[in-house]
Amino acid sequence: MFWPWCSAQGDTGISNTQILDERATEAGSAWLPVIVIPLFLVAPALWNGYPLLQWDTGGYLARWYEGYLVPSRSTVFGLYLHWGEGSSFWLNLGLQALATLWILQLTLRVLGLSQPLRLLWIGLLLILTTALPWLASMLLTDIFAGLSVLALFVMATQAGRISPLEKCALFGFVAFASATHSATLGVLFGLCCAGWIAYPLLRRQIALSGLVQASMTIVAGAAMLLAANFALSGQLAWTPGGTGVAFGRMLQDGIVAQYLKDHCSREKLKLCPYRNELPPTADDFLWGNSMFNKLGRFEGMNDEMGFIVKQSLAAYPLWQTKAAAVATAEQLMHVATGEGTNGWVPHTYGIIERYIPSQTQPMRAAHQQHWDIDFALVNWLHVPVALASMLAAAAIAGHAIWRRRRDDIALLAATVTLALLGNAVICGIISGPHDRYGARLVWIATFTVLVAAARHFGGERTAP
């Protein structure tokens, strides 16, 4: 075996030294994205001097200490944050950066695009042009939304190209991601439903075993959340808050005010005396200094808000339908980076000062707490890139359907487009349009476009 190999070397004029040099260069380039991408993903936090915080962060942190359930705050994610407290949460950011690198690399690998330098330039373009590094640098569930969509895609459509260990790791990751936020779980559930609907037509593209495994992650995530809620609060219950959030969106659309106007003459509701004083937005009502506080917040108002939500759905079906369509369209356009990531997060400050006083000083010294973060320049680039990426991803999926092409890039584009639409429906209709809900997911559209460009210009064969 040795001699023919040596003879071939002599015939081609390539020396052993040259081969060793080439292999050393390849090994070095393989490590380059492993070092550079995670470092740049947490660069905003490194510059800040402390992990980035958001208004919701404090609610998650408090779950371990307060031991009861609050609206829209997953105990699973609260436990995840508590695990990293001893490192001032840098362990959490490190894990988020490495998970991002892993999912990006794995997606490129199963698509046949796993060259290290390609991973590097795609990663750096995502870091420059999308919200990805801000999501990875923040103590919030948002980074797991987009990653879980890509992980679900790999699990369901590329089962034959990943090892049993990778299948187990993806299963655990998607289950955890779905347990961190109800909207993420809803998007993943919708994708699984779409997968089952499309399976009879796409038997060659969608592996039955992968689709079953992907669907079971939703069940596992729900079980994980119920178990964590029971362990921390003693209640075998889902995280509360969906009704209150939906009520806020209807209030913002004027539906609640109209319902009170039409029914307060014959129904005794706590909000009736305030029907002419309702604040203009859901955020002002739920989180501002409104009558909601006087009436007992969620504990005192849950039943009444749920009653008004159900009754107004029946009372104004056309209005509700129109409002839902408008909210979905607006949510698709709300993609700016940085909503809620400024110096005004007093609840989170208070939670850290109360329960983790040792971190008060570094938290207060961070740039964020001095209002040094300005996303205006960032969004000058991020917003047009996000909107163009969504259109391009949808165009790739639409072109494939029109031409009846069923390759893996088309399937990825269709998955991402459905995820973005599902996210807009869930978040827009229930919570009302917010930039944060769009920015946390739209970067996977940019990733899809970059993957399609790499496939097209790299000359690799499109996998059938």
User: What pLDDT, on the 0 to 100 scale, is given for residue 460?
Assistant: 55
- One-letter amino acid at 261 equals K
Give the percent of the chain with pLDDT over 90: 72
Question: What confidence tens digit (pLDDT) does each residue in 342-357 have?
Answer: 888 999 999 999 999 9
Q: How many Å apart are CA 151 and CA 147, to the nearest integer?
A: 6
Residue 225 pLDDT > 70? yes
371: left (phi over 0), alpha (psi -120 to 50) or beta: left
- Cβ 286 vs Cβ 256: under 8 Å: no
Average pLDDT rounded to a whole number, residues 413-441:
95
Name which of 351, 346, 344, 287 is nearest 81 in CA terms. 351
User: What pLDDT, on the 0 to 100 scale, is given for residue 189?
Assistant: 97
Q: How many Å apart are CA 177 and CA 233, to the nearest integer?
A: 21
Q: How many Å apart are CA 411 and CA 417, to the nearest integer?
A: 10
- Could you tell me the CA-to-CA distances from 429 to 248, 321, 327, 421 in Å, in that order? 10, 10, 6, 12
Q: How many Å apart are CA 454 and CA 118, to the nearest integer?
A: 8
Average pLDDT rounded to a whole number, residues 181-210:
93
Residue 242 pLDDT > 80? no
Question: What confidence tens digit (pLDDT) does each residue in 255-264 have?
Answer: 999 999 999 9
Mean pLDDT (the chain, rounded): 90
User: What pLDDT, on the 0 to 100 scale, is given for residue 198?
Assistant: 93
Average pLDDT rounded to a whole number, residues 413-433:
95
- Could you tell me the CA-to-CA distances from 167 to 111, 162, 188, 191, 214 in Å, in that order? 16, 7, 17, 18, 10
Question: What confidence tens digit (pLDDT) does each residue in 150-183 have?
Answer: 999 999 999 999 999 999 999 999 999 999 999 9
Residue 2 pLDDT > 50? no
Q: How many Å apart are CA 126 and CA 129, to the nearest integer?
A: 5
Domain ranges in the chain are 38-240+334-458, 242-315
Average pLDDT rounded to a whole number, residues 123-148:
98
Average pLDDT rounded to a whole number, residues 50-72:
93
Average pLDDT rounded to a whole number, residues 3-16:
43
Name which of 87, 100, 77 is nearest 51 in CA terms. 87
Average pLDDT rounded to a whole number, residues 8-21:
48
Average pLDDT rounded to a whole number, residues 398-419:
88
Contacts 24+ apart (CB under 8 A), 287-293: 287/55
Tokens representing 321 are: 């339908």
